[in-house]
């Protein structure tokens, strides 16, 4: 019994002597610079939609990591107003005519975005305004950010850009031709 009591006392002393009240050790090495994983975006320029597919594939730049849970949004440069402000529309975006409609739409993988036209009219009749030299912005939004900020307005590029603090000067431009 004496040995057992001695063992309990020694064990207690051991745990009591282990405390965090001692001197602090030296500072560790500095970490790497932070990476902005919120608001990653790139621009796809010079897009021409031609028969028969009316579709293009834009590679996602290697420095932008897309996780399976991320939200990928695509905006179409629809017009430029009288004050030289870009008017961006979230796609899918439907354009209506008297004889039918078509829409810009997309799908994506973790490494590319497929932007394409579909509709119930002959796409060959659309004309250059809708099919030639189009510009798109692709934004990768981590689902965690969106879940923690449910009031983020993704319906307009301008609002999303402000929410994510996207800097136009930091956007990669990928000419598609």
Number of domains in the chain: 1
Residue 140 lies in a domain: yes
Model confidence band, residue 142 (pLDDT cutoffs 50, 70, 90)? confident
* Rg for the chain, CA atoms, rounded: 27
pLDDT for 160 equals 80
Residue 14 lies in a domain: no
Q: Does a structural domain hold residue 78?
A: yes
Tell whether 22 is covered by a domain. Answer: no
pLDDT, average across residues 45-71? 93
Asked whether residue 150 is domain-assigned, the answer is yes
Residue 29 has pLDDT above 60, yes or no: yes
pLDDT at 139: 92
Backbone angles phi, psi at 14, to 5 degrees: -60, -50
pLDDT of the residue at 136? 97
**Is there a domain that residue 154 lies in?**
yes
b/e map of 3-26 (b: 16 or more CB within 10 Å)? Answer: eeeeeeeeeeeeeeeeeeeeeeee
Q: Domain containing 74: what range?
A: 40-175
164 in a structural domain: yes
pLDDT at 149: 78
Residue 45 lies in a domain: yes
């Amino acid at each position: 019994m004496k040995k057992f009591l001695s063992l309990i006392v020694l064990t207690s002393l051991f745990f009591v002597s282990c405390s965090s009240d001692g001197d602090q050790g030296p500072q560790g090495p500095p970490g790497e610079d932070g990476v902005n994983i919120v608001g990653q975006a790139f621009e796809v320029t010079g897009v021409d939609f031609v028969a028969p597919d009316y579709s293009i594939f834009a590679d996602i730049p290697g420095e932008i990591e897309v996780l399976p849970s991320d939200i990928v949004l695509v905006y179409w440069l629809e017009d430029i107003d009288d004050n030289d402000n870009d008017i961006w529309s979230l796609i899918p975006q439907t354009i209506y005519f008297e004889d039918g409609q078509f829409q810009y739409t997309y799908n994506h993988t973790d490494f590319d975005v497929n932007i394409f036209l579909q509709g119930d009219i002959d796409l060959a009749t659309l004309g250059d305004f809708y099919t030639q030299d189009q510009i798109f912005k692709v934004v990768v939004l981590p689902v965690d950010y969106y879940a923690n900020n449910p009031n983020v307005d993704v319906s307009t590029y301008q609002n999303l850009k402000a929410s994510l603090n996207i800097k136009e000067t930091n956007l990669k431009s990928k000419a598609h031709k």
